[in-house]
Each structure stands twice: as C-alpha cells, then as structure tokens.
Amino acid sequence: MSRPPFTVERLNELLAHFGDAHLRAVRAEKRGAMRSALFDLPRRSLLGWRVKYEHEATFMREVTARIEPEEIGRRMKVPGSRPYYLQLFLLAQDSFNARQQELLELGLAAGDRFPAERVDDRLFLFDTWERISRAYRNDGLLFPDEAGGTQPILTPESQDEVLSLLRPVADLDYGLARRLAATLETFCFVVHGEQRDGIFAHGPYAGENGTVLFLKEFNDLRGGLLPWAATRTRNALDNVVFAYEVRDTRVTFDMFGGIVTEPLEFADRIVRLAVFTQQDGRLRVLAPEVWVDLTDRCREATNELYFAIVDWPQRYRVEYAAVLFANHVKPFLDLAGIDADERLRAAAAQTAAHYVDHLLAGPDTPVVMAHWGATDGPLFWPVVV
C-alpha cells in the first residue's frame, strides 16, 4: 500500500508541534544562556547546525535508499544502540535551527517566503524523522512530552532479556558501579565537547513485583570520527549500559535523551542491577573487575582529553563542532553499512571553511538563541512556497 505524499502542509503541522515541545525544553534548561570555559558553545552550535543544514539530507538519502525509515527505527530498538534517540531528535532540530538563524539574519518574518528555501530537503528530512520516530517508540508517538515524559523503545523480547541479566544489588558492589557510571558520564561530556551525545536514558518498563525498570546508556566511547578522541588510553568498549530495577521511584525522560528521577538520589531504591555491553545485538554482562578497568581507562582518557582541550586555539573552540555534529549522522550511515567517514570529515571541513569567519564576526549570542527567549510565537517559522 503506497503512502500518501508528505506535503508542505504536513511539514508545517509537524514543525509547529515539534517547535512547541522544543521551545519548552530549551527554556526550561536556559540553553540559550549556556556558556563554557572550554568551548564557544553558542557559535559552535551554529556551526554544527550549519553542517547538518548543508549536508545531512544528502547523506540521509543514501541511508534511506538502502533501508526504509521504519526499518531504521526498528533496528534502533536495541540496548546500547547508536544511532539512538538523540541523533534522531537532532535530525529534526539542527537543520531547522540553522534555517531559523538564516531567516532571522535576513530580517524575514514568520510567513515570509525564504528565497533560498530547500523545500525538497526539508520535506525529506521531516518525513524521514517522523517515520523513524514512530517505529522507534513503542507507542508510535514522536517524543517524551507526548506521553507523560516516557521514552519506551525496547521490544518485549529485549525487555525480558534485560530483566534476565539483573542481579540483586545487595550481591554487587554498588559503589564500584556508581563510580563507573560517573566516570563514563564525565568522559562522554568531555569527548563530545560539552554536548550530551553518548548519554541516553529510556523507559520506564515494568519490572517485577511492582518495580520499574529503566536503562542509562553510554555509547560512542571510542569516538572513531572525532580526531581528538584518539587518546593514548583507549576505552575497550564502544558502549556500556546500566539497567536499574527500582521501587518507589518516579522516572521521566526529556527530548535530549535525559532522565529525571524522584527522588533525585535513588540508590536506596535499587532492587536489582545489571551492567552490560552490546555488540552485534548480543548483550554481555560485565563483571565487577571489568568495571574497575573501565573506570581507570576512562579516567585516564578524560584527563588526557581535558589537558589537550585547554591548549586548543580560540578558533578551534568553534571549529571543532563541524566534525562533532557530523558525528551525529555517522551512526545512520553505519547502520546502513555505508563507510562515509572521510566524506563526513570533508563535508564538515567544507562548511567550517566558509562559515567560521562569519560566526566569529557575529554577536556573542546568536539571534536564533535570543529568539528562543523572546518569541511569543513559533520557535520555527513555517515553510512558505
């Protein structure tokens, strides 16, 4: 049965819906005001969005020529998967943030026609995003806000497999597990240039005897596309997953792949725990002695990264984002069996070469980020043809 055409009207309907949820999220976190001692976060974000705006559709067309969007969503429903929810969310967010920045720079208003509009690309990307998203989530929805802050992606079979790996927390050294999780979180944050990539929480799923199961994952731990990630000490695994079965705990999830627990500290609520990795769809429990080795490796790599980044020149504190954001597209290409790393690096360098000077000459707070805080209307303006 053929699908109805994805129209500009449908695009604008979804864009408004997505923008409303996204605007609530960025305002709640005051993302437009975020600053860093290490990186030029506002300008680096604009550069990364621009890379996606200029090149994402081309690469994703290669992916969907091999795998239907619905099949992509189904293949992502595995613990430790990359791509995961954040790359999917950014598939929609980043290129439309870049477009909104350009509209504002041109002095256009909502409802004005954008002469350089890439209508075919905009239609393709949002259609692809919607189709993957509805197949990825178990409820056929698009993001957590639509379902009370839930993020259910695992199949019943995967849930059963994870439950089978759990062990009573009293039988494990939870202190070691907690140190590993904290070390992985810090590493992911540093290696991804103070971006949330590599950290993902999802659930809730039904545990046993009225408990709740949720997973927190750390991925891209070897950072193959990122040139600065080639530290002397390398992480031995690409991903590590923590599965928590908890009692008397409320968990909610956000558009950025994050989690909030009530209470915030839930260690005394954990009934069972598993720490495992996934490779080629197979789950393997990691023994406590492996936790120690991973913690040591990750801490050493983080320290090396941090001291290298401190010496980055000011321009590179913006420029690094070109490959950082290209790294969001890589997992979809990997899923389709397309080796495009060199082309991704070349695309990132191409955008950086013509856009970084423009950013450095612009204001400290880009107009699109000021728009986040000031607008009483839509976050993303509609496509007009």
Q: Parallel, antiparallel, or unpaired: how do β-strands 240-246 and 212-218 relate?
A: antiparallel
- Render pLDDT for 56-99 as a digit per residue (tens, 0 to 9): 999 999 999 999 999 999 999 999 999 999 999 999 999 999 99
The band of 29, judged by pLDDT with boundaries at 50, 70 and 90, is low
- Residue 34: the pLDDT is 54
Residue 352 CA from chain centroid, whole number: 21
pLDDT at residue 124 is higher than 90:
yes
What distance in Å separates the CA atoms of residue 270 and residue 169, rounded to the nearest whole number?
Answer: 7
Query: In which band, very low, low, confident or very high, does the pLDDT at 329 lie, cut at 50, 70 and 90?
Result: very high
Residue that has been written with the tokens 């550069």 in this structure: 47
Check residue 35 and give its pLDDT.
Answer: 58
Distance CA 218, CA 197 (A): 9
pLDDT given at position 36: 65
Tell me the three state secondary structure of residue 315: coil
Q: What is the pLDDT of residues 262-311, one digit of tens each?
A: 999 999 999 999 999 999 999 999 999 999 999 999 999 999 999 999 99
- Using alpha carbons, select from 136, 126, 151 the residue that is nearest to residue 70: 136
Residue 272's pLDDT is what?
Answer: 98
Contact status, residue 242 vs residue 181, Cβ threshold 8 Å = yes
* Predicted local distance difference test score (pLDDT) of residue 275: 98
Which pLDDT value is given to residue 28? 72
Q: Is the pLDDT of residue 229 over 80?
A: yes
Q: In this predicted model, what pLDDT tens digit does every residue of 171-186 receive, in sequence order?
A: 999 999 999 999 999 9
Given the DSSP bridges, would you call strands 212-218 and 250-253 parallel, antiparallel or unpaired? unpaired
225 in Cβ contact with 59 (< 8 Å)? no
C-alpha 69/C-alpha 65 separation (Å) is 9
By C-alpha distance, which of 341, 310, 308, 305 is closest to 326? 341
Average pLDDT over residues 22-45: 74
Helix H or strand E encompassing 278: strand 270-279
Q: Is pLDDT above 70 for 338? A: yes
Give CA–CA dist 350/319, Å, rounded.
Answer: 11
CA dist., res. 172 & res. 312, Å (int):
41
The contacts found for 150-153 with CB under 8 angstroms, 24 or more apart, are 150/203, 150/204, 150/252, 150/253, 151/85, 151/201, 151/202, 151/203, 151/253, 151/257, 152/202, 152/203, 152/204, 152/205, 153/76, 153/77, 153/85, 153/202
Let me know if 333 is exposed, middle or buried by CB neighbors in 10 A (0-12, 13-18, 19+): buried
pTM of the model: 0.95
pLDDT at 33: 53
- DSSP letters for 284-312: EEPPHHHHHHHHHHHHHHHHHHHHHHHT-
Looking at the predicted structure, is the pLDDT value of residue 38 above 80? no
Residue 23 token pair? 């605007």
Q: For position 156, what pLDDT does the model report?
A: 96
pLDDT bracket for residue 30 (50, 70, 90): low
DSSP codes joined into one string, 67-120? S-HHHHHHHT-STT-SS-HHHHHHHHHHHHHHHHHHHHHTT--TT---TT--HH
